[in-house]
Chains A and B, each alone.
Chain A
Amino acid sequence: GNSVTQMEGPVTLSEEAFLTINCTYTATGYPSLFWYVQYPGEGLQLLLKATKADDKGSNKGFEATYRKETTSFHLEKGSVQVSDSAVYFCALLSPNTGNQFYFGTGTSLTVIP
């Protein structure tokens, strides 16, 4: 079956620290991988995506590389800001299951000044 496992939070970092949020997946076929971000009181927004192995998605200083050999899609940012405080969700989209999204449990990030 399809599933996503991401590191549990909450994560608290100081401003300008390096961020890594781990994400691994199990999927049938060749899924696409996504990171979504949820700011307080809002719905989810797409942060970045990668549709095939070795692709790197990037947006707003965040990056993630689709690693098929380790079934991973870890999110990284070199220097976080207070405005990055949010909940981050890793997700996969599998064409083998009607293009349904499967989400991880979410990782809460708080960045302190």
Chain B
Amino acid sequence: NAGVTQTPKFQVLKTGQSMTLQCAQDMNHNSMYWYRQDPGMGLRLIYYSASEGTTDKGEVPNGYNVSRLNKREFSLRLESAAPSQTSVYFCASSVGQGPTYEQYFGPGTRLTVT
């Protein structure tokens, strides 16, 4: 069972370049999330999608866009990368929203912007 998969695992970008991080889940979950993890700051929510066809901003959405392509896939786009976006990005999914529903995390994408 693959769970939550993310591509790529590693990426180096130059300032101003764009890229899309891909996330897919095979658990038939309704809700999906994008987090970034920075040293000394824990995980912070960038965007989430409560259900197919909806997306909402999280705590740190500036500089990012998302697309919930279908129930399985939720992508994160950086239109013009900046060094401040150097981070590890985690995708997660859950059956629904709220404390009853565990979030399952992917293995992460380590992004460096030079």
Contact = CB atoms under 8 A, between A and B. Distances in A.
A102 B4 CA distance: 21
Interface in B33-55: 40-45, 48
Interface string B84-97: 00000010100001
A37 B90 CA distance: 14
Q: Summarize B's interface: helix, strand, loop or mixed.
A: loop
A32 to B, nearest CB: 3
A45 interface: yes
Interface stretch (B13-21, B65-73, B105-113): B105-113
Nearest to A49: B99
B102 interface: yes
5 contacts: A43-B92, A101-B43, A101-B45, A102-B59, A105-B41
Interface of A: 4, 32, 41-46, 49, 51, 89, 91, 93, 95, 98-106
